Structure formats: structure tokens, C-alpha cells
Amino acid sequence: MGSLFSQSNGEQKAGLLNQLLSSVNPATLSSLAGGGALASLLGAGQHVTPEQAQAVSPERVQRLASQAEKADPSVVDKASSFFAQHPTLIKTLGGAALSIALAKVAQRQKAA
């Protein structure tokens, strides 16, 4: 998910972060390295803006995605739906990256 995030524009990054944040509580988010600023947004009921999303590293998004999946296994489906709404992003990643992403989604769905 980190690579998809890094290839996204500010609006797409914000949308993905807001999807992930809706699946974790502020205490879990605060426990992630560097998650305090995002936790304060979540606690205040605010959404991440495109400008704020640009400052978040792909590594932090990957850690957040892992925590969100533990809290809500359907978050993978939500993220997939989000990216499906942005086909130009998927096109920029190329066929190989798309194949890997789809294989991971299928693998997680089988495990659930």
C-alpha cells in the first residue's frame, strides 16, 4: 500500500489516509511511530487534508494499513475500492505492480 500511496497525488493520499484512519482508534494510532499528529486529527474528528497527506511517509502509511487491517479486516476491500475509483493511478504503476497488488488482495481475502 505504501507504493500506491507514494504514487498518489495529494487528494488521493488524503482519501486513502482518511479511509485507513476510520478503521483505527486514536490510542492505536498514537502507538505508531509518528502517528501522534494523525491521532490528534482523528481525535478532533477532522479529516486529513491533501496538504497534510503530502507530509506522511509511505512507510507510515504501510504501518497504519497493517494496524487498520488488524482492527477492521474489511479495510483492504475499502482501500481496493478507493483505488478502483482512481484508474489513472493504477495505470501509472504498470501491469506488474497491479498484478502484485491484486494477488495480495486475493491472498488476504482467502485468509479471511
How many domains does the chain contain in total? 1
Residue range of the domain that includes 37: 2-111
Q: What is the pLDDT of residues 89-98, one digit of tens each?
A: 656 555 556 6
Q: Long-range CB contacts (< 8 A, 24+ apart) of 48-55?
A: 48/14, 48/17, 48/18, 48/21, 49/14, 50/9, 50/10, 50/11, 50/13, 50/14, 51/10, 52/14, 53/10, 53/13, 53/14, 53/16, 53/17, 54/10, 54/13
Q: What is the pLDDT of residues 13-55, one digit of tens each?
A: 888 888 888 887 767 766 665 556 666 655 555 788 898 888 8
Contact between 36 and 56 (Cβ < 8 Å): no
Measured in residues, the chain has a length of 112
**Does the global pTM surpass 0.85?**
no
Listed in sequence order, the residues at least 6 apart from 78 whose beta carbon sits closer than 8 Å to its beta carbon are: 19, 23
